[in-house]
Protein backbone atom coordinates (compact mmCIF):
# COMPACT_ATOMS: atom_id res chain seq x y z
CA UNK A 1 0.00 0.00 0.00
CA UNK A 2 2.97 2.31 0.65
CA UNK A 3 3.89 2.33 -3.04
CA UNK A 4 0.36 3.32 -3.99
CA UNK A 5 0.26 6.17 -1.48
CA UNK A 6 3.69 7.37 -2.56
CA UNK A 7 2.45 7.38 -6.11
CA UNK A 8 -0.81 9.11 -5.26
CA UNK A 9 0.53 11.78 -2.94
CA UNK A 10 4.12 12.24 -4.04
CA UNK A 11 4.02 11.36 -7.71
CA UNK A 12 6.36 8.43 -7.19
CA UNK A 13 6.32 5.84 -9.95
CA UNK A 14 8.20 2.73 -8.87
CA UNK A 15 8.33 1.39 -12.42
CA UNK A 16 9.80 4.65 -13.74
CA UNK A 17 12.25 4.80 -10.83
CA UNK A 18 13.27 1.17 -11.47
CA UNK A 19 13.59 1.81 -15.21
CA UNK A 20 15.68 4.91 -14.63
CA UNK A 21 18.01 2.97 -12.32
CA UNK A 22 18.22 0.08 -14.76
CA UNK A 23 18.91 2.49 -17.64
CA UNK A 24 21.69 3.99 -15.54
CA UNK A 25 23.17 0.55 -14.80
CA UNK A 26 23.05 -0.46 -18.47
CA UNK A 27 24.54 2.85 -19.50
CA UNK A 28 27.33 2.42 -16.96
CA UNK A 29 28.10 -1.10 -18.15
CA UNK A 30 27.99 -0.13 -21.81
CA UNK A 31 30.05 2.95 -21.14
CA UNK A 32 32.80 0.91 -19.49
CA UNK A 33 32.92 -1.62 -22.32
CA UNK A 34 32.54 1.08 -24.93
CA UNK A 35 35.28 3.25 -23.46
CA UNK A 36 37.74 0.34 -23.43
CA UNK A 37 36.88 -0.81 -26.95
CA UNK A 38 36.66 2.68 -28.35
CA UNK A 39 39.94 3.66 -26.73
CA UNK A 40 41.70 0.61 -28.16
CA UNK A 41 40.22 1.14 -31.62
CA UNK A 42 41.01 4.83 -31.56
CA UNK A 43 44.62 4.15 -30.53
CA UNK A 44 44.95 1.58 -33.31
CA UNK A 45 43.61 4.03 -35.89
CA UNK A 46 45.74 6.94 -34.69
CA UNK A 47 48.85 4.75 -34.53
CA UNK A 48 48.30 3.77 -38.15
CA UNK A 49 47.59 7.33 -39.21
CA UNK A 50 50.76 8.53 -37.45
CA UNK A 51 52.86 5.94 -39.33
CA UNK A 52 53.56 3.76 -36.30
CA UNK A 53 55.55 1.00 -38.03
CA UNK A 54 54.97 -1.59 -35.29
CA UNK A 55 51.18 -1.25 -35.48
CA UNK A 56 51.13 -1.32 -39.27
CA UNK A 57 53.48 -4.30 -39.40
CA UNK A 58 51.38 -6.16 -36.89
CA UNK A 59 48.18 -5.45 -38.79
CA UNK A 60 49.65 -6.42 -42.15
CA UNK A 61 51.95 -9.25 -41.01
CA UNK A 62 49.93 -12.11 -42.54
CA UNK A 63 49.63 -10.47 -45.96
CA UNK A 64 53.24 -9.25 -46.03
CA UNK A 65 54.56 -12.62 -44.86
CA UNK A 66 52.61 -14.48 -47.53
CA UNK A 67 53.74 -12.05 -50.24
CA UNK A 68 57.41 -12.33 -49.19
CA UNK A 69 57.20 -16.11 -49.14
CA UNK A 70 55.69 -16.14 -52.62
CA UNK A 71 58.34 -13.73 -53.94
CA UNK A 72 61.11 -15.89 -52.47
CA UNK A 73 59.62 -19.03 -53.99
CA UNK A 74 59.30 -17.33 -57.38
CA UNK A 75 62.94 -16.17 -57.21
CA UNK A 76 64.12 -19.63 -56.17
CA UNK A 77 62.16 -21.29 -58.96
CA UNK A 78 63.49 -18.85 -61.52
CA UNK A 79 67.05 -19.40 -60.30
CA UNK A 80 66.77 -23.18 -60.38
CA UNK A 81 64.95 -23.63 -63.65
CA UNK A 82 65.67 -20.47 -65.56
CA UNK A 83 68.60 -19.68 -67.68
CA UNK A 84 71.73 -18.27 -66.11
CA UNK A 85 71.46 -15.17 -68.20
CA UNK A 86 70.53 -11.65 -67.22
CA UNK A 87 66.87 -12.48 -67.79
CA UNK A 88 66.65 -14.41 -64.52
CA UNK A 89 68.25 -11.58 -62.55
CA UNK A 90 65.92 -9.06 -64.16
CA UNK A 91 62.93 -11.28 -63.43
CA UNK A 92 63.97 -11.57 -59.77
CA UNK A 93 64.44 -7.79 -59.52
CA UNK A 94 60.99 -7.27 -61.03
CA UNK A 95 59.56 -9.66 -58.44
CA UNK A 96 61.12 -7.55 -55.66
CA UNK A 97 59.63 -4.38 -57.18
CA UNK A 98 56.25 -6.09 -57.41
CA UNK A 99 56.49 -7.10 -53.74
CA UNK A 100 57.37 -3.54 -52.73
CA UNK A 101 54.42 -2.16 -54.71
CA UNK A 102 52.11 -4.71 -53.09
CA UNK A 103 53.25 -3.77 -49.58
CA UNK A 104 52.91 -0.07 -50.36
CA UNK A 105 49.36 -0.71 -51.58
CA UNK A 106 48.55 -2.67 -48.40
CA UNK A 107 49.80 0.22 -46.25
CA UNK A 108 47.76 2.74 -48.26
CA UNK A 109 44.61 0.67 -47.90
CA UNK A 110 45.26 0.18 -44.18
CA UNK A 111 45.62 3.94 -43.67
CA UNK A 112 42.51 4.66 -45.68
CA UNK A 113 40.57 2.15 -43.59
CA UNK A 114 41.95 3.64 -40.37
CA UNK A 115 40.90 7.15 -41.36
CA UNK A 116 37.42 5.95 -42.25
CA UNK A 117 37.18 3.85 -39.09
CA UNK A 118 38.27 6.73 -36.87
CA UNK A 119 35.71 9.05 -38.47
CA UNK A 120 32.93 6.47 -38.05
CA UNK A 121 33.94 5.81 -34.45
CA UNK A 122 33.77 9.50 -33.58
CA UNK A 123 30.45 10.04 -35.31
CA UNK A 124 28.95 6.94 -33.70
CA UNK A 125 30.06 7.96 -30.21
CA UNK A 126 28.65 11.46 -30.58
CA UNK A 127 25.32 10.01 -31.74
CA UNK A 128 25.13 7.57 -28.84
CA UNK A 129 25.96 10.30 -26.34
CA UNK A 130 23.21 12.51 -27.76
CA UNK A 131 20.67 9.68 -27.58
CA UNK A 132 21.62 8.89 -23.99
CA UNK A 133 21.21 12.52 -22.96
CA UNK A 134 17.81 12.73 -24.67
CA UNK A 135 16.65 9.53 -22.96
CA UNK A 136 17.77 10.82 -19.59
CA UNK A 137 16.03 14.15 -20.21
CA UNK A 138 12.77 12.42 -21.19
CA UNK A 139 12.80 10.30 -18.04
CA UNK A 140 13.48 13.36 -15.93
CA UNK A 141 10.59 15.22 -17.58
CA UNK A 142 8.29 12.27 -16.96
CA UNK A 143 9.32 12.21 -13.32
CA UNK A 144 8.60 15.95 -13.00
CA UNK A 145 5.16 15.44 -14.59
CA UNK A 146 4.42 12.65 -12.13
CA UNK A 147 5.35 14.85 -9.19
CA UNK A 148 3.34 17.78 -10.54
CA UNK A 149 0.26 15.62 -11.14
CA UNK A 150 0.35 13.94 -7.73
CA UNK A 151 -2.08 15.03 -5.02
CA UNK A 152 0.78 16.60 -3.07
CA UNK A 153 2.12 18.29 -6.19
CA UNK A 154 -1.31 19.63 -7.13
CA UNK A 155 -1.81 20.81 -3.54
CA UNK A 156 1.46 22.73 -3.57
CA UNK A 157 0.74 24.15 -7.02
CA UNK A 158 -2.81 25.10 -5.96
CA UNK A 159 -1.60 26.70 -2.73
CA UNK A 160 1.03 28.67 -4.62
CA UNK A 161 -1.57 29.82 -7.14
CA UNK A 162 -3.93 30.97 -4.32
CA UNK A 163 -1.07 32.85 -2.67
CA UNK A 164 -0.18 34.48 -5.97
CA UNK A 165 -3.81 35.51 -6.52
CA UNK A 166 -3.95 37.00 -3.03
CA UNK A 167 -0.91 39.06 -3.97
CA UNK A 168 -2.53 40.03 -7.29
CA UNK A 169 -0.01 37.97 -9.29
CA UNK A 170 -1.95 34.74 -9.72
CA UNK A 171 -2.28 33.00 -13.01
CA UNK A 172 -6.00 33.81 -13.09
CA UNK A 173 -5.60 37.44 -11.95
Listed as ranges, residues in the chain with pLDDT below 70 are 1-13, 82-89, 153, 169-173
Q: Give the model confidence (pLDDT) of 125-156 as tens digits.
A: 778 878 878 888 888 888 788 777 777 767 77
Q: Which residues contact 48 (CB under 8 A, 6 or more apart)?
A: 55, 56, 59, 110, 111, 114
pLDDT at res. 171:
54
User: pLDDT above 70 covers what percent of the chain?
Assistant: 83
Q: Which residues contact 38 (CB under 8 A, 6 or more apart)?
A: 121, 125
pLDDT at res. 1:
46
pLDDT at res. 86:
61
Which of 121, 130, 125, 123 minimizes the C-alpha distance to 43?
121
pLDDT at res. 39:
86
pLDDT at res. 146:
77
Domain residue limits, the chain: 18-142
Which of 15, 13, 11, 4 minimizes the C-alpha distance to 157?
11
pLDDT at res. 149:
77
CA 67 to chain CA mean position, Å: 34
Q: How many CB atoms lie within 10 A of CB 124?
A: 12
Q: Give the model confidence (pLDDT) of 162-173 as tens digits.
A: 777 777 765 554
Amino acid sequence: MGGFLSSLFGGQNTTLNKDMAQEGNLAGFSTGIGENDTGAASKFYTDILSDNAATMSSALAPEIGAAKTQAQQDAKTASEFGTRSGGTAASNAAGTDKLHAYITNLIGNLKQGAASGAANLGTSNLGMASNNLQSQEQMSQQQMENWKNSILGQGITGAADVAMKDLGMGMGA
